[in-house]
Amino acid sequence: MEEKEEKTFTLEEVKKHKDGKSLWMAINDTVYDVTKFMEEHPGGEEVLLEQAGGYASDAFEDVGHSSDAREMMKKYAIGKLAESDREKKSSKTKYATPQSGDESSSWTSWLVPLLIAGVATFAYRYLFMVSGGDNGNASSSAQ
Ligand code: HEM
């Protein structure tokens, strides 16, 4: 991680760079100058131009960019988005896994095998008793 002194840009500034001459965008609160990358972008320049001058986090994430792409984009980072202009949902992964959901799923992961084991034991005993009882009766009545 490079902890260089970072510049801060407002969304207003980012908005000024939204054409082929100068193309900026904000992805996950970082501002990227992708002017030079436009022609190289494997996804084409059209998609970049569509996102130019604004928030592009959703569009970027929706594509499911590879870790190579994420590594590559660091080259084009020019600074951070001003605190007041940051996307509210940048920490969305935190909300995606509610704790209560985790608890209940671990509960059921115990309960289901336990129930299956109980039913299996019961069925086995029942069958054993039926066949065992028959045998016992047969042998005792034969003597
Ligand atoms: C600095 C920003 C970006 C970088 C460095 C970047 C880099 C890349 C790279 C390396 C690929 C090849 C596939 C991969 O490795 O994932 C790719 C594909 C693609 N990118 Fe980007 N990208 C950026 C921003 C965006 C944005 C904002 C969009 C907006 C929708 C976008 C849309 C796409 C699409 C549609 C593909 C093609 C996917 C495919 O054909 O499967 N990219 N990008």
Nearest CA to ligand 1 atom 1: 73
Nearest CA to ligand 1 atom 2: 73
| Predicted confidence band of residue 141 (pLDDT cuts 50, 70, 90) | very low
What DSSP assignment string belongs to 9-22? E-HHHHHT-BSSSS
Q: Which residues contact 142 (CB under 8 A, 6 or more apart)?
A: none
Please indicate whether residue 77, judged by its CB atom, sits closer than 6 Å to ligand 1. Answer: no
**Strands 8-9 and 77-81, bridge-based pairing:** parallel
Of residues 101 and 77, the one with the higher pLDDT is 77
For 17-75, the pLDDT digits (tens) are: 999 899 999 999 999 999 999 999 999 999 999 999 999 999 999 999 999 999 999 99
Q: Identify the sign of the CA torsion 63, 69, 70, 72.
A: negative
